[in-house]
A and B are shown apart, each in its own frame.
Chain A
Amino acid sequence: MSDVALALGGANFDGLVEITELAGQGMVTLRGDLTDNTIVTAVNDVFGVTLPGTRETAFSGDTGALWMSPDEAMLLCSYDKAQDLADDLAAKLADAHALVVNVSDARAVFQLKGTMLREVIAKLAPVDMRADAFTPGMVRRTRMAQVAAAFWMDDASTARVVCFRSVAAYMFGILSMSADDSSAVNHFTR
């Protein structure tokens, strides 16, 4: 298999938070009724996760599922396994009203690490980032500055931001600017 060519070659920035472009993340998009038992069971069999509820995430080892809309979920796995798992799931859902596609190369993923990540995100997205409003286990599809994005928190000091690959450089630019050491507002730590 050929090497995974990252949009920014694994770019890195260290400021209020450490921003890293993550190496190839396997992503499989699933469209269908997320409450349909056939679909829930098939996803559990293939990815080992139970489909999450509204705006929630579910993780099990290196696989996971993100709630995207009432009829869309993003399934995460390792990059190498994505095609096999997608084929597997598609075969299991052949008779269901569902669509499964491997979209691993469509997006760029950035990891934000540091206790200031709420502030870095809040400067870019119209989302309430207070600790009691947005918690690990939630996912939010929104915009960051001028581009569509989604993000979730793995724990109190780690978040992952996903955007389309074509706007990866823009996303890295605005994240870096928002995380510039001299731009601290300290809104959430005051």
Chain B
Amino acid sequence: MLLITCPYCGVAAEETELHAGGEAHLTRFGPDSSDEDFTGYLFHRENPKGVHFERWRHVNGCGKWFHAARCTNTLEVFGTYSAQTTEPPKDILDTIRAKRPGFTWRTIA
């Protein structure tokens, strides 16, 4: 069972109270972008066995979107953080670096 703590209401919510929102920190490429950029934005997703950054929504709860960093292999949750950011906060990255030395995720390492 996956338990994720919502950073907005502080509830350690069980998976069925949440809704997964796909990969986090995507950069949107709109109408004037190149075909490669647009294809990448629309279709290309990370599918790691290990550290992953995702969007989640506390749908049966406070209703807020937030970010979570977790391991897809062990279901360990490294931390959750605000949706109002374009990159993971330093303390969460430090936690992951300590627990999973040498991890990489897109441009993050």
The total number of A-B Cβ pairs within 8 Å is 33
| Interface size in chain A (residues, C-beta < 8 A) | 12
In chain B, positions 1-37 with a C-beta closer than 8 Å to chain A are: 8-11, 13-14, 16-17
Q: Which of B14, B16, B62 contacts A141 (CB 8 A)?
A: B62
Q: Which of A134-189 contact B (CB under 8 A)?
A: 140-143, 148
If over half of A's interface residues share one DSSP class (helix, strand or loop), that class is named, otherwise mixed; here it is strand
* A141 and B61 in contact, given A54-B9, A126-B14, A126-B17 (Cβ under 8 angstroms): yes
Given A68-B62, A70-B62, A70-B64, A143 and B17 touching (CB < 8 A)? yes
Interface residue tally for chain B (C-beta within 8 Å): 13
CB distance from A182 to the nearest CB of B (A): 27
Chain B residues with CB under 8 Å of chain A are: 8-11, 13-14, 16-17, 60-64
17 contacts between A and B (CB under 8 A): A54-B9, A54-B10, A55-B9, A55-B10, A69-B9, A69-B63, A70-B62, A72-B62, A72-B63, A126-B14, A126-B16, A126-B17, A141-B9, A141-B62, A142-B60, A143-B16, A143-B17
